[in-house]
Chain A
């Protein structure tokens, strides 16, 4: 346990988005031209305001750790998860993730809403590299866990959001990941299912699976994680034990609430 392997390494990660996205359009260009002609040009400088969703983030996560990422809305938590899970590239800096990872961002973790639940199980597993023949060996577990047996041949577009997240979570934890990225996925289901999920996540933790968990719920972070990272407006404010981080975090939130 002492010689833990670094499994996620993030060095000086920055992610830049353009706030006013410039799409050349004939209408816009024409009106601009006429306005310039009349001497009433209101030049919109499109790329003047770079928006750094993440700025100079560095941390290392070791194998078997479970890390909660907390922060207010728009602080870059989901962007961080996207960068970690290879969906988007960092603008600057490097990210390296060593190991099979599964990502659950948002409710519908990569579902095609036109297809049925069963088809989506096969489809989603195939994205993770499991052929249907292998999926057949554990599809019963997935169905059992998600409690969706009656709706399995219904298109996912007819599911409630709780059902979608249940299916997504069930598939992800049966994919035998080494690392799992969870984004708010547990906050949708009812409390019984939430408890079941937390149980499963704790089981994964016991099996040395690394967990990166994004949540606004202090209770679930305290329960699942033994380390927390606090992001604020794209900056890494604090990286430490859950207690320390939440102490500072709630203090700041209270401060903001009282001043405004």
Chain B
């Protein structure tokens, strides 16, 4: 029984690698990247058929995994992962003969990353843990929603509890930051226009969206290490600690967003009907951020250097993401950066909605969506599998 769960976990990883590979392919098709061999027109015309092919290959590899899993009774973790990756790579190469070398590299790279993570930090699935199930955990989490909301409320309140202005800071802070930026970009730097939008709203929109990600990830890395004392004394689903941090970030985001709308209105960019697409984009971004936070929070308990490292990497990512420049201005030979960075596509979607008054391109949201879902699922399962070990690492 225990072995079968492990096989399923591995099969899941194989599917995961395949789907993400598929997404990378679809994006490459979409953006007509010139690196590597081009896919034919038929793939471009029918992205659905591409997905069907990939889903079939995923199912086949799962099945093969299942059979081999039964035959090899004591296959090690490592062998299983390598086998899964090997099978899915072969299948992808067989079923998509026109795939370019670069796509295989992306796919392989992602697969190796997942493999390394699972091998280095294997989720300890135990024989007596019968409830190792995503929906079971979600149900437990739902039972704790009161705790979650109370915790977020107390934390937001206590952040400003000893200040003179009190909770007013939560509005004043983003508003003043935005006004400073508006001043700098309108008075000191010559006013520029990107397309037909003023630079300030172009920039501010992206920064607001970026802040949710960067704040969330930064707070997420320290969320567990800060509450070690509490965790040693009482049990509650540990992911609450991470979600509380996300909740705080979202509360901040609400006010930053409002401040951004004010500035936008001042420079003449008004809210428009395309705002109805905004919840989808925000949801994708939250999912993505939370998935990453769940991974990083646990890993930074083991390796205490992670928070510092993440801070540095976020700096780098800030410039690799089209925030101070536009997606269109990326040179052709660097456009692969868009393929590996779902945030770039998300921020582009934010921009097209808020600044350019256009609905987001759905094809550009496929990859972020799948990446976000996959990250949340794997991150959550990874977190839950290791959650009890956290207190042993105080």
Residues on A close to B: CB < 8 A? 17, 21, 23, 82, 85-89, 94, 96, 103, 105-106, 108-110, 112, 114-115, 119, 122-123, 126-127, 129-132
Contacts and interface: CB of A to CB of B under 8 A. Distances in A.
B2 interface: no
Given A87-B391, A115-B154, 15 more contacts: A17-B392, A23-B304, A85-B234, A88-B389, A88-B391, A89-B389, A103-B234, A105-B232, A109-B234, A115-B158, A126-B150, A127-B234, A129-B146, A132-B146, A132-B150
Contacts of B230: 110, 112
Contacts of B392: 17, 88
Contacts of B73: none
Interface string B132-150: 0000000000011011001
Question: In terms of DSSP, what is the predominant structure of the interface of chain A?
Answer: loop
In the complex, the 6 A-B pairs of residues with the closest C-beta atoms, listed nearest first:
A110-B234, A89-B388, A126-B147, A131-B146, A86-B235, A94-B128
B233 A108 contact: yes
B126 A89 contact: yes
B150 A85 contact: no
A27 to B, nearest CB: 13
Contacts of B151: 123, 126
Contacts of A89: 124, 126, 388-389
Contacts of B147: 123, 126-127, 129
Contact of B231 (A87, A103, A126): A87
Contacts of A129: 143-144, 146-147
Nearest to B303: A24
B233 A88 contact: no
A5 to B, nearest CB: 20
Given A112-B230, A115-B154, A87 B235 contact: yes
Question: In terms of DSSP, what is the predominant structure of the interface of chain B?
Answer: helix
A214 B393 CA distance: 24
A227 B65 CA distance: 51
Nearest to A21: B393
B236 interface: yes
Contacts of B234: 85, 87, 103, 105, 109-110, 127
Contacts of A122: 150
Contacts of A86: 235, 388
Interface string B278-315: 00000000000000000000000000100000000000
Looking at B143, B144, B233, which has the most chain A CB atoms within 10 Å of its CB?
A: B233
Nearest to A86: B235
A39 to B, nearest CB: 30
Nearest to B129: A89
Interface string B323-337: 000000000000000
Contacts of A21: 393
Contact of B154 (A17, A94, A123, A127): A123
A225 B124 CA distance: 37
Interface in B366-394: 388-389, 391-393
Contacts of B232: 82, 87, 105
Contacts of A123: 147, 150-151, 154
A110 B151 CA distance: 13
B33 to A, nearest CB: 39
Interface string B105-133: 00000000000000000001010100000
Nearest to B128: A94
A94 B2 CA distance: 15
